[in-house]
Amino acid sequence: MLAFITAGTPSFDMNIVPDTSVIIDGRVSERVVEGEFADATVSVPEAVVGELEAQANEGRQTGWDGLGELKRLADLADEGRIDVEYVGRRPEASEKHAAQEGDVDALIRDLAADHGATLVTSDVVQSEVARAKGLDVVFIEPVGRDVEALDIAEFFDETTMSVHLKVGAKPMAKRGAIGDMHYEAIRNEPSTEDQLKEYAHDIEESARASPDGFIEIDEPGMTIVQFREYRIAIARPPFADALEITAVRPIVQTELDDYEYADELRERLLERQRGVLISGAPGAGKSTFAQAVGEFLAESDFSVKTMEKPRDLQVGPHITQYTELAGSMERTADSLLMVRPDYTIYDEVRKTDDFEVFADMRLAGVGMIGVVHATRAIDALQRLVGRVELGMIPQVVDTVVYIEAGEIETVYDVNTEVKVPEGLMEEDLARPVIVIEDFETGVPEYEIYTFNRQVVTVPLGDSDGDRESGVDRIARQEVEREIRSIASGHVEVEVRGRDRAVVWVEDRDISQVIGKGGGRISDVENRLGIDIDVRTLDEREGGRSGSSGSSGGGGIDAGRSVTPEITSRHVVVPAEGLAGETVEVRADNEYLFTATVSRGGEVQVSRGSAIAEELERAIDHGRQITVVPA
């Protein structure tokens, strides 16, 4: 006969089989103490022990909570209040992995049936399946709790954006106003492991029990919780070197009207669906601005969704927040395309997959607002280069908003024109050019286009006296590359104006460079769209200057001698102390290429490229490799 027993049933002798859900919640020992399960025989399935052990080994708090409950049951057995036995077998690896599909639950139900015992569970699905199979069931309704506030909230005041707690370290916090944050100690005593374990337990239990919170990510060593306005990351060994809790919350709520260009941006967003990148440095206020844009769009009768991992944008209930579906934002996008939102806020767009999903949704007609880390407005757009076909970029992103210290610093309008790039003259050099204009003035500030098979981003109007412009620099490098492929000796190049360059070569190379009847140099001029005057180095006033990267003299132009490392995928040129600077790489003072030094103080050249092959040949021939600031 089927028995469905709920909490509150009078005490009686019984044999019970608890499942994982009630063990984790500590509900069995609770009922023993209350007398409901007094004198019962508690048959704990080995399947439950195995599941808890696996969770604990993965650093999940649920596993530790469950093991703590088993210890309490053992203590109650020692006191003679219940009998405890362990029954059944451990789940196999395949059954552990299939726990979500119910394999472990099935093992527990079978044990209850074999022992003629009552199954005790807080899992409604488990209880319904067990009832359908004719088992006696005690279903204990999960009891939520109304959480007034998290214990960790004591560290926050109205100026606190984030709190950072770590075992053995003083509690730290970021406090201040946007753009003027200070990382400072907020207590002198280092945090202990017991203190942080209590905070972590309170956070996780509050997230599980309260409708105001949820656990976003629960992986071995890392748990991320969203509770009301707090986003909290709990890191545990071995993922972290010590238990650490980081809690972040927004310190301001804004509306679109609080920002400069509000009227113009409103009109632009309402005109039609747009592709917008909101960029800025960490902590600049990008997400705060994205929230303001999302609220404005929702209030303007647009259907707005978000794609976030984790979900921490502070938006109203009329905006649905989505995260990864089955571990993939691509699947989330596929689902969103079925419901066709007017706008989707993607926070944050970082990896290649993110940019591809953003582009696919935009090209499908969905308005997209992407949040991107970048230290300059143009850098946000350049992150699309190589990830999206160049000609499609303006269709994916037509507006770039750069946020600094909580304010809109720059807005760019992005469009495509078929034209001769700025600084070039020949009409047959016309091509699709991405023009980036200042939104307020309409003045073009950058152009992006393909030049001699490579994509270049050229700043406009940056020529200042003798300072070489972006166009001049590119032109000089391309002329050098062409002439060096012909000449065997020293080469120097100087760009004079938009359509002319002077090249100085060794006497022995003059005829080779010019070619019969001037045919070879004419071919170079036609390819590059620039007139080239070829002269001997002896004709140059003052002799060899080395200004183009080919100096044989001393000083800074002589460069720094380095030893490149050749890996399976890259040729790595060390350039310590020059991070972020533009440098020329030379072999025996002969120019090879120009590059920007990475934050790690090195230049990486992909093997198989023409530049890498030229550099490897120089290394193989024992030539001295030098790095010179451009």
The whole-number pLDDT of residue 519 equals 85
Which two three-digit tokens encode residue 237? 């060994």
Q: Is it the case that residue 121 has pLDDT exceeding 90? A: yes
User: What is the residue whose two structure tokens read 């004591």?
Assistant: 154
Q: What are phi and psi of 338, to 5 degrees?
A: -75, -30
| pLDDT tier for residue 556 given thresholds of 50, 70 and 90 | very low
Mean pLDDT of the region 554-581: 77
Q: Is it the case that residue 146 has pLDDT exceeding 80? A: no
| pLDDT tier for residue 586 given thresholds of 50, 70 and 90 | confident
How much is the mean pLDDT over the chain?
84
The residue ranking higher by pLDDT, 338 or 205, is: 338
What percentage of the chain reaches a pLDDT higher than 70? 87
The whole-number pLDDT of residue 630 equals 67
Going from the C-alpha of 309 to that of each of 223, 361, 463, the distances in angstroms are 13, 17, 43
**162-174 confidence digits (pLDDT tens):** 999 999 999 999 9
Q: Helix, strand, or coil here: 166? A: strand
Distance of CA 256 to the CA centre of its chain: 25
Task: Determine contact, residues 277/399, Cβ cutoff 8 Å.
Answer: yes
Which two three-digit tokens encode residue 319? 């905006």
Mean pLDDT of the region 555-577: 78
Task: Determine contact, residues 88/112, Cβ cutoff 8 Å.
Answer: no
Of 117, 98, 103, the residue nearest 44 (C-alpha): 117
| pLDDT tier for residue 548 given thresholds of 50, 70 and 90 | very low
Burial state string for 158-193 with b = 16 or more CB within 10 A and e = fewer than 16: eebbbbbbbbeeebbbbbeebeebeeeebeeeebee
Task: Determine contact, residues 178/252, Cβ cutoff 8 Å.
Answer: yes
**DSSP characters for 457-506?**
EEESS---TTPPPHHHHHHHHHHHHHHHTT-SS-EEEEE-SSSEEEEEE-
The whole-number pLDDT of residue 95 equals 54
**435-471 confidence digits (pLDDT tens):** 999 998 899 999 998 876 678 888 886 544 444 555 6
Q: Is it the case that residue 497 has pLDDT exceeding 70? A: no
| pLDDT tier for residue 93 given thresholds of 50, 70 and 90 | low
| pLDDT tier for residue 312 given thresholds of 50, 70 and 90 | confident
The residue ranking higher by pLDDT, 93 or 262, is: 262
How large is the angle between the packed helices 124-132 and 103-114, nearest 10 degrees?
Answer: 50
- What strands, in cross-sheet order, belong to the sheet with 407-419? 320-322, 304-308, 343-347, 367-373, 275-280, 399-404, 407-419, 431-438, 444-451, 454-459
The whole-number pLDDT of residue 392 equals 92
- Judged by average pLDDT, the poorest of 145-154, 315-324, 505-514 is 145-154
Q: How many CB atoms lie within 10 A of CB 154?
A: 10
The whole-number pLDDT of residue 5 equals 41
The whole-number pLDDT of residue 162 equals 92
Q: Is it the case that residue 286 has pLDDT exceeding 70? A: yes
The whole-number pLDDT of residue 144 equals 57
- Judged by average pLDDT, the poorest of 117-121, 230-234, 517-521 is 517-521
625-629 and 602-606 beta bridge pairing? unpaired
User: What is the residue whose two structure tokens read 């970021």?
Assistant: 174
Q: Is it the case that residue 1 has pLDDT exceeding 80? A: no
Q: Is it the case that residue 143 has pLDDT exceeding 90? A: no
Task: Determine contact, residues 397/378, Cβ cutoff 8 Å.
Answer: no
The whole-number pLDDT of residue 553 equals 35
Q: What are phi and psi of 326, to 5 degrees?
A: 55, 40
What structural domains and CATH numbers belong to the chain?
Answer: 4-139 (3.40.50.1010), 151-248 (3.30.450.90), 256-459 (3.40.50.300), 470-539 (3.30.300.20), 556-629 (no CATH)
- Judged by average pLDDT, the poorest of 89-98, 282-291, 336-345, 533-542 is 89-98
- Judged by average pLDDT, the poorest of 61-70, 151-160, 454-463, 474-483 is 454-463
**364-421 confidence digits (pLDDT tens):** 999 999 999 988 899 899 888 888 888 899 999 999 999 988 899 999 999 999 888 8
Q: Is it the case that residue 134 has pLDDT exceeding 60? A: yes
User: What is the residue whose two structure tokens read 């009630």?
Assistant: 22
Q: Is it the case that residue 349 has pLDDT exceeding 60? A: yes
Of 412, 410, 416, 376, the residue nearest 394 (C-alpha): 416
**609-626 confidence digits (pLDDT tens):** 767 888 888 888 778 898
The residue ranking higher by pLDDT, 102 or 436, is: 436
The whole-number pLDDT of residue 555 equals 35
Q: Is it the case that residue 10 has pLDDT exceeding 50? A: no
Mean pLDDT of the region 297-318: 90
